[in-house]
Amino acid sequence: MDNHTEPRAAGIRPFRIDIPQADLDDLRARLARTRWPDQLPGVGWDYGIPLDYVKELAEYWRTGYDWRVHERRLNAFPQFTTTIDGQNIHFLHVRSPEPDALPLIITHGWPGSIVEFVGIIGPLTHPGAHGADPVDAFHLVVPSIPGYGFSGPTRDRGWDVRRIAQAWGELMKRLGYRRYGAQGGDWGSTITRELGLIVPEHLAGVHLNMLFPRVRDEPSDLTDQERARLQALRRFRSTGFGYYAIQSTRPQTLAYGLTDSPAGQLAWIVEKFGEWTDAGLPGAVDRDLLLTNVTLYWLTGTAGSSARLYYEAGRSGDWGPPVTSTVPTGVAVFPREIAPPIRRFAEQSNNIVHWAEFDRGGHFAAMEAPDLLVGDIRTFFRQLR
C-alpha cells in the first residue's frame, strides 16, 4: 500500500540549483592565487594530507572540473525547501514509479552531503530498471542537514541531533508519509537512530552503516575481532580526532580559513576521504563526485555552520549513554569504517534484527560500495514492509 497523501501546500517550495557564474569565476581565481604551505620531505600522510596531492587536485578543480555538469545531474532530482522550527530545510524528494514503494529518509553526515547518494537514488527508487525486484522500491527523501549545503547556515543555537530528528519527523509528516524507514551513516546514523526514539510509531525500521561501539564494561571474553575493533576506536580517538576537537570547541574560528580559502576547504574535507575510505585516495571515490561534494560546501559557505553540529552535540548529551531503541534496527558493517561496531554492545541499546558484515568499503559506503549498501538496505527492509 502506498501510504502517502499529497504534500500539504503550506511551506513546500520547489528548488533548483542555479549558481551564479560569478561565484564559479571567483572560485577559480582564488584557486589560482593559493598561497601554499611547505611540507617536510618523505612524510606522506603522517602530518596530514600531502601537499603534492592537494596541489594536483586543486589544479584539476580549477582547470578541469565542470560544476555545471554536476549541477545538472543534481537538478535531475526533484528538490524542495521548507521551513521547520525557523530553519530552512533543503531536500530531494524522489518518488518511485512503484505505487507500493516504502518511503525512506536518508541522512548524510560530515564531511558529506546529498552528493553522497546520487549513485544510489536510481537503484533504490526504481530497482526494476537496475536489474532488481520492483518489490524493493522506495520513495526517497534526502534532506540536507541544517547548517549544511542548501539548507544553509543555522540561525540560532541548539541545532543538535535531537532537534534535527524532530525536524525530520515534521518533514515526513508534511510530505504525507505516515509509515516509513530511515537510513544513515556518520551524523546521519545518529540522527536516524534518534528519529526512531522520537517517533517510533512511524518507523518501519532504521538502517545504519555506522554505529560507534558504546562500551560500558569491557568483558573478559572479547573475541579477536572485538578487540581489534575496540583498538581501532582507541586509535581513532588518539590520532584521528583532531577535527572533532576543533569543530566541537571552535567552529567559528575554523570558519574564517575554510570560508576564505578553497584550498583550505578542499584539504579539510578530502583528508577524511583519504583516511576513512577502504582503498584510500586517489581511487576510492570518483574524483568529480568528491569535488562536487567539496564545491557544495564552498558555494554555500557552510564550512562553519556544518561544524556547529559538533559544538551543539557536545553540549546536549548526544554522546551520552544511549537510550534503548525499540525500533527494528539493521546494521551494515564496512571494514574501513572509522570504528566498526560490535554486535554484543550494539544489542545492549538497540533492537538489532539484521547485521551484515562486508569485506570491502568504508565510511562513505554510498560512494565506495553502492552495490553493497543498496543490497543491504533492500534486504533489511524487505522483512519490514
- The one-letter amino acid code at 163 reads R
User: Distance (Å, rounded) from C-alpha 34 to C-alpha 36?
Assistant: 6
- Which residues lie below 8 Å from residue 64, measured CB to CB, with a gap of 6+? none
Cell of 141: 527523501
User: Distance (Å, rounded) from C-alpha 233 to C-alpha 340?
Assistant: 8
121 C-beta neighbours (distance < 10 Å), count: 20
Is 363 among the residues known to form the active site?
yes
Work out the burial of residue 265: count CB atoms within 10 Å of its CB; fewer than 13 is exposed, 13-18 middle, 19 or more buried.
buried
Residue in 186, 278, 288, 376 annotated catalytic? 186
Q: What are the residues facing 261 on neighbouring strands? A: none
- Which residues lie below 8 Å from residue 136, measured CB to CB, with a gap of 6+? 127, 378, 381, 382
Is residue 367 a contact partner of residue 287, using CB atoms and an 8 Å limit?
A: no
Is residue 91 a contact partner of residue 103, using CB atoms and an 8 Å limit?
A: no
Question: What is the DSSP secondary-structure string of 170-186?
Answer: HHHHHTTBSSEEEEEST
- Which residues lie below 8 Å from residue 211, measured CB to CB, with a gap of 6+? 189, 193, 331, 341, 346, 350
- The one-letter amino acid code at 80 reads F
Cell of 111: 564531511
Block residue for cell numbers 537512530:
193
241 C-beta neighbours (distance < 10 Å), count: 13
Angle at which helices 287-300 and 51-63 cross, to 10° = 80
Residue in 70, 126, 202, 363 annotated catalytic? 363
Cell of 129: 530498471
Residue 259 DSSP one-character state: H
Residue in 177, 180, 310, 311 annotated catalytic? 310
Nearest Cα to Cα of residue 4 among 118, 141, 129: 141
CA atoms within 13 A on the CB side of 240: 17
User: Distance (Å, rounded) from C-alpha 114 to C-alpha 108?
Assistant: 6
> Catalytic amino acids?
186, 310, 363
